[in-house]
Amino acid sequence: MSEIVAIPKSVGCDFVGGVYKAYATESSNITAVTVTTGAISAFTMADTGQWGKLEFDDQDNVAFFNEAGEQSGNVIRINGTGLMRFVGVTQSKITAANKAKACCGLVVIWFHYDGTKRVQGIDVAPDGAWEFSNKLPRVIPNANSGTGGEESLMEYNVAHQSRNLSPTTTLTDTEIEAL
């Protein structure tokens, strides 16, 4: 289904970028997805309590979730990358990072400063059909000591590849935490 849909010019000057938190779960925990008008409105989970909440320490505003398209012949792919930053390198953060990198495929809900919530790891086609991304998100951790003039950091780079841009979700924090 191809079509060029009109996009009106944005009004105002308050367009804030960046992300400040995320929820993540292994894709195998999700058994079904409900899509309403292109946005994810519900997840059916294999069990409850499977979403981890990740709140970033991002005083310098570098956390992001970006997607860029690429074309190879007639195939267009979307490559997504997110960065989560946490201050301090501690054993508990090292253990958490090692557990996160062991996950073979994630679904991540990114919370943008402008109120948008996007779901990495789920492909939603224009007709509303959903599937997991063909290359599911994985956590690639970094533990950085920094220099004497800097702070130590734990970072999660989260990359994926899909057929479509990551959809939004209408789910709230409370609804996600109840899943």
- The single residue listed with the structure tokens 């990551």 is 166
Whether pLDDT at 88 is above 90: yes
DSSP line for 23-40 = EEEEGGGEEEEEEETTEE
Q: Which pTM does this prediction carry?
A: 0.93
Q: Are 138 and 105 in contact (CB under 8 A)?
A: yes
3-state class (DSSP) for residue 66: strand
Whether pLDDT at 13 is above 80: no
Whether pLDDT at 16 is above 80: no
Whether pLDDT at 1 is above 70: no
CA-nearest of 109, 118, 114, 116 to 22 is 109
Whether pLDDT at 17 is above 70: yes
Outline where the chain has alpha helix (H). Answer: 91-101, 173-178
- Residue range 150-156: average pLDDT? 93
Give 25-56 pLDDT, tens digit per residue.
Answer: 999 999 999 999 999 999 999 999 999 999 99
